[in-house]
Structure 1
Amino acid sequence: MSKNLDDDLTESRLSRYNKLQPDVKEYLYNILSSHYPNLFSKYSTTTKSYNQLDLIELLKDGEILCKLGQLVPSTPNPTTRFKSSSMPFIQMENINYFIQLCALINLPQDEIFQTIDLFEGSDPYQVCINLMSFSRVVHNLDPNVFGEVIGPKKVRVKPVVPNKPRNLKG
């Protein structure tokens, strides 16, 4: 059975997502649990605790993202419009509030996920990328609230530019 490039890329992104998922969940819990002590327990059931759930399932209603966003010192802050609901369009609206906040705090556009990436689980790795970028930006905005950063650190060193060969110097 031959695979195509799309399948390989999807499999690669899913593999990276599965590696990052525990760190992202731990980050969310560490940041949010002191501000919202009962937030994560509502996602636990008698058979599964919240940390056994898939990250996408945990974030799908947008509540965790909006609560995280509400800790960001930003005016305006779209995440304050969060509504708790089991209706899909309200949940997608909640996710969109978080995405709007990400744009307001200047997350790089290519690191922000689309609503369907999360709601339909079409690109869970992009959700992790977004949250890692978010952690870097908000840590700089308010390190007292956002004391942790997840994912690779941004490199601030400029690359060395080699000298021009003598025959090209003008």
Structure 2
Amino acid sequence: MPLGLLFYRDGRRAAHLAVHHAPYLTQNKTAEFPDKSDLTLECSRRSLCLKLWMTLQMTNETAVYAAHEHLLSLAQYAAASLRDIAGWHVLYAPFSNIVCFRREHAAGADANAVSQAIVECINASREYSIGHTFISDDLYVRLCFMNPRTSYRDIDHLLKAINGMACLAESALVGAESRCSKAS
């Protein structure tokens, strides 16, 4: 298993090597609570191989595989659930632990603004930490399932919160009643 650690005397030169920007990995850096992506195996760019090696030493390949299969099933469940709720567009069928989605037509509101409001409000609740990413000029909400203890009930609760937040955002942005109140 390859593992490389580099030590630098000049911090500026070391920082120059890490100029790549992945905003979906580091969006909570200014918040008063920690960015959970720094604390997970899948999303950290720091010594990933060492973390994987340590995990394999503490468990076994079968347990790691089962955890990843569970995370994939959570992503697939979330995507299917979103497709069943009117007004959501799922970017693709998940083949990993990530689901990207956004409101379709956003009831007259700017869909990017609705996505941004969903991410900001859900993260402000501190119950969940969700992300976003741009595909072309469209802002998608991004769920990345990383905790093998997450249950399908947790997903249902999260999606209910996201759907409710989308309805509030649409209402606030359009200044009128959204389609959600009619569906409830």
Q: Same fold (TM over 0.5)?
A: no
Give the number of the structure whose residues are more often helix, by fraction. Answer: 1
Give the number of the structure whose residues are more often strand, by fraction. Answer: 2
What is the TM-score normalised by the length of structure 2?
A: 0.32
Which gives a bigger RCO, structure 1 or 2 (Cα 8 Å, sep 6+)? Answer: 1
